[in-house]
Structure 1
Amino acid sequence: MNKASAFVIYSIVFFAFFDLFAQLPVMSTFATSVGATPFIAGLVIAIYSLSNTFGNILSGIWTDRIGPIVILLVGLALSSLSLLSYHLVDTATTLLIVRIVHGFVAGLIVPAAFTLSANLTAANRQGKKVALTGSFVGLAAIVGPAFSGIMASQTTVPIVFTYVALFGVAVALLALVFLRPSKLTLEPSHRTDEGTSRLERDVVKAYIGAFLLMFSQGAIAYLLPLYVQALGYDSSLSGTLLSTFGIMAVLVFVLPTNRLFDQIEPAKLAALGVGILGVSQLLIGRSETSLLLYAVLALYGVGFAILFPAINTMLIKATNQANRGKSYGYFYAFFSLGTVTGSALLGWLSITLTQKFALTGGILLVAGLIFVVMQQTKKRDVPVR
C-alpha cells in the first residue's frame, strides 16, 4: 500500500468514527429540543445503531460484488448529505427518519474501508496495519465528543453536523483522486490452507470478539457516568476518564508495541484482551477515588488496544478477497449489536452499579476462558504431516 492510499483510508476511517462520536454528547439533548419524550430520545439513539447494522451487512455484500472503492465513495457522499439533512429536522418524527437514513448510509463506510485496507496490505503486516488504523478510531473517540460538545455550546447541532459533512466531502474528493483502481496494487490472498472448518471457526471467534468488545464499550458508556455521579464527582470526570482510555489505546496502537500484533497469534491476543477488559470492569466497580479510576481506565485502554487488532487480524487471515467484504459487514454488525446489548441489558437489570460492573466483568472473563479453550482445541485439531 502506498502512502497516499494509506493516508486516504486512514482519513476515511477517522471520518466514519468522528461522525459517530460527534453525535454522543449532543443527540439526546437535540432530540428533546425538537419535542421528543425521554423514551423517543432513547429511541433516536438506538435506532441509529439498528439501521447501522443493516448498512454494515449490505456494505459487506456489495463490497464483494462491486468492490470497496465504489461503496466507499457512495457511503461518504450519502453520509455527508444525511448530516446536512439535520437542518430539516423540526419534529421528533422527522428526526427519527433522518437517524434511520444516517445510520444506514454511515454503515456502508467502515466494512468497505477495512476490506480495502486488508486487500492492499501484505500478509505479514496485517496486525500492525490494523493497529495503526485503530489509532485513528481512538483519535476520533477523543476528538469527536470534544469537538461537538464545544461547537454545540456556541452554535447549533445542525451547524456542528454541517462541519462534519464538509469534512466528509473533502475525504470523498481525496478518495476519488487517490483510490482509483489503476493506482492500487492488491496483495495476494492472505488466507492460509488450513481447512474450511478451522477457518470458519476463526471467523466466528472474530465475530464473538467484536460483540464482546462493544458489549464492554456499551457497558462503560452507560455505567461510568452514573458511577462517577454516585461517587459525588463532577460529570466532567467521566469525560476525562474516557479520554484516558482513548489516549492509552492510541499509544499502544502507534508505539513499537504494535509489532506484537504480527508476532503473537491473534487468538491468544484476543483472549488476553478480553481478559484485561473483564478485570478492568471488575476493578472500576470497586474504585472509589479518581486516581484509581484513571489507573483502571488506562488498563482498560490497553485491553481495548490488544483486542481490536487481534480480532481484525483473525478475520483477515480466515478470509480472502472474494468473501472478505461480506465477512467484515457481519463483523461490524456484531459491533453495533454489542453496543446496544451492553447498555440495554444493564439498564434492564435492577441491581447496583457495582454489581453491574461485576456482572460485565464476569461475562468477559468467562468469554476469555472460552477463547483459551477454543485455542487449545484448535491445536489438537492440527493434522500431523
Structure 2
Amino acid sequence: MTTTTTKLWTKDFILFTISNTFLFSGFHIFLPTLPIYVLNQGGTSTDIGLLSATFVFFAILIRLFTDYGIKKWGKKYYLYIGCILCFVAAISYILATTVPRLLSLRVVHGLGFGIATTLYAAIVSDLIPKSRRGEGIGYFGLGTTLAMAIAPGLGVWIVDNFSFNSLFMVATISQILALSFLSLCSIPDDRSVHTEKQEKSSLIDKLLERRLLFQAFLALLFGVCIGGVLNFIALLTKEAHIANAGAFFLMCTLCIFLSRVVTGRIFDRKGPAWVILPGTIFFLLGFVVLAQSKSMTSFLAASALYGFGYGTIFPALQTWMFNLVPPAKRSTASASFYNMIDIGNGVGSIALGMLAGKLGYASIYWCSASIMGIFLFSYTWFVIQEKYASEHNLDDIEANG
C-alpha cells in the first residue's frame, strides 16, 4: 500500500488516528487504577509488578511474530486480531476477581496491544505521503498524547465515584469505538503482497531490523529514561516535598502536544538531525532540572523540558526508522521501535529502582541525564560520520565525472 498524493488529512488518516486514540485510551485508563484493583483483590505490590512485567513481556513476544502474522492475515486483518484481543481483555476484567485471573488477562491484553501498536504505526506510515511523514506521524501521535492526558485521570474519577465494574465497561466501550472507527477505514487487504517465500531469520532478526541497529540502540536508551519518569515521578515529589505530582503530567502533556505540531514539518524539510539533536538537549536538561527540583516552579520547568524533548524525539526516531526501510519492512521497523522502547522501559524500571533504593530518587534523574548524554554523543558522532561519508562520495563522483 503506497500513497500517490501529498494530501495528509484524508478520511482514512483521520479515522485511523481516532481509532488509535481510543485503543490507547483503553490502555492508559488502567495505568493508575489496575494497581488499586489488585490491592483490593488481596494482591501485593509484588503482584502489581508482576502484572506489569507480564503485559510488557507478551507485548514484546508477539512482536517477534509480526512478519508471520502479516504473511498469514495481512496488515489489515492482523490489526483486527490485535484490537479484538484488547476488547476481549477489557470486557473480561469484570470477571477477574483473583490475581491469577488478572495475570491471564494481562497476557491476552499484552498480546493484543503488542499486535495493535505495531500495526497501527506501520499502516499509518503507508497512509501518509512520504514527503509529509514526519508531520503525519507527529499528528497521529497527538491521539496517543490525548489518551495519556485524559484516560488516567478519568479512570481514577470513575473508581472514586462509581465502581471498578464501571471502569471496565468504559474501557470496553473505548475498545469497541477503536474497532468501529477502524472498520470505517478503507485499508486494502495486502495478504497477496506477503505470500512469497521468505528467508529464515534468527531471533535477533525478529526482535529488530538489522538495518536499524543504531536507531534501535537510541530507542533503547530513550526507553530506559522514559521508565524512570513513568514509574518514579510521584515518589520523587514526596522525597522533594513537592505537593502535586499530577501537575508534572499536565505540563508535560501540553508541551508534548505543542512539540508534535511543530517538529514534524521541520523533520520533513530539514531531516532528522534538525529535530533529534535539539529534542535530546531538551530531554537531557529536563532530567538535570528534575534531579534538583525543590519547588513547584523548577518542577514544572523540568516537566516542560521533558515534554518538549519527549514529544520531539519519539515521533522523529520512529519516522526516521520508517524512512530507512522499504514499505514491506515498515511493520518490522515498527516492531523494532516498540520492542526497544519497551525493553528499555522494563530494564530501566528495575535498574533505576535499585539505584533509588541506595541513593534516593533524585539519583534516577541524574542517571537518566547521563544516559541521554550517551544518546547525544552517539547521535552527534553518527551525524558527523554520515556527513563526512556523504561529502567524500560527492568528491568521488565529481572526480570521476
Same-fold call, TM cutoff 0.5: yes
Report if the CA contact (8 A) 1:11-1:171 is conserved: yes
Q: Is 1:58 the equivalent of 2:65? A: yes
Q: Which amino acid in the other structure matches residue 377 of structure 2? A: L
Decide whether aligned partners of structure 1 residues 113 and 325 sit closer, same or farther in structure 2, where only a CA change above 3 A counts.
same
**Residue in structure 1 matching 2:166, options 155, 159, 173:** 159
The code of the aligned residue for 1:226 comes to L
Q: Deviations over 1:182-234 (max 9, x none)?
A: 8xxx9xxxxxxxxxxxxx78622332232233222210122311111112233
Contact 2:135–2:268, Cα closer than 8 Å, also in 1 = yes
Q: Are 1:79 and 2:79 counterparts? A: no
Aligned mates of 2:77, 2:267 — CA distance in 1: 30
Question: Is the contact between residue 58 and residue 329 of structure 1 (CA under 8 Å) also seen in structure 2?
Answer: no
- Checking the alignment, whether the CA contact within 8 Å between 2:279 and 2:313 is kept in structure 1 is yes
CA distance, structure 1, for counterparts of residue 236 and residue 85 of structure 2: 38
Tell me what 2:15 maps to. 8
Deviation beyond 4 Å, 4+ runs, structure 1 = none
Do the aligned partners of 2:85 and 2:112 also contact (CA within 8 Å) in 1? Answer: yes
Deviation at 1:88, TM superposition (A): 1.4
Q: CA deviation at 1:276?
A: 2.1
Secondary structure at the counterpart of residue 327 of structure 2: coil
- Alpha-carbon RMSD across the aligned residues, in angstroms, is 2.2
Alignment match of 1:305 (pick from 299, 308, 311): 311
Quote the Cα distance in structure 2 between the aligned partners of 1:160 and 1:64. 36
Q: Pairwise mapping of residues 158-307 of structure 1 onto structure 2 (< 5 A)?
A: 158-181=165-188, 203-234=212-243, 237-254=244-261, 256-307=262-313
Instruction: Provide Cα deviations, 1:267-323, integer angstroms capped at 9, x if missing partner.
Output: 452233233212211110112110111112111111111101211121111111211
| 1:353 and 2:367 are equivalent in the alignment | no
Normalised to the residue count of structure 1, the TM-score between the two structures is 0.89
Give TM-score, length-normalised by structure 2: 0.86
**Structure 1 gap ranges (5+):** 187-199
The answer to whether the 8 A contact 1:59-1:109 is kept is no
Counterpart amino acid of 1:380? Y
Q: CA deviation at 1:2?
A: 5.8
Picking from 356, 359, 363, the partner of 2:371 is 363
The offset of 1:92, in angstroms, is: 1.1
Shift of 1:60: 5.3
Partners of 1:85 and 1:98 within 8 A in 2: yes
For residues 67 and 309 of structure 2, the distance between their equivalents in structure 1, rounded to whole angstroms, comes to 27
Larger RCO (CA under 8 A, 6+ residues apart)? 1
Give the whole-Å Cα distance in 2 for the aligned partners of 1:219 and 1:58: 29
Q: Decide whether the 8 Å contact of 2:18 with 2:181 is kept in 1.
A: no
Tell me the equivalent position of 2:331.
325
Q: Tell me what 1:375 maps to.
A: 383
Residue-by-residue CA offset, 1:236-290 (whole Å, 9 max, x unaligned): x111211210111111222x45321212221452233233212211110112110
* Residue equivalent to 1:111: 118
1:8 alignment partner, SS class: helix
Choose which of 142, 148, 167 in structure 2 pairs with 1:141.
148
AA in 1 matched with 2:305 = L
Cα 1:203/1:321, change in 2 over 3 Å: same
1:335 is paired with a residue whose SS is helix
Aligned pairs, number? 367
Q: Structure 2: which amino acid aligns with 1:321? A: P
Q: Distance in 1 between the 2:383 and 2:25 partners?
A: 35
Calculate percent identity across the aligned residue pairs: 20
Could you tell me whether the CA contact under 8 Å between 1:86 and 1:98 is conserved in 2?
Answer: yes
Tell me: CA distance 1:2–1:339, structure 2 relative to 1, closer, same or farther (3 Å). Answer: same
1:130 is aligned, of 133, 137, 145, to: 137
The alpha-carbon distance between structure 1 residues 26 and 98, as it changes in their structure 2 partners (threshold 3 A), is same
Contact 2:225 / 2:371 at 8 angstroms: preserved in 1? no
Check conservation: 1:267, 1:311, Cα contact below 8 A. no
Letter in 2 for 1:56: R
Aligned 8 A contact 2:267 2:316 in 1: yes
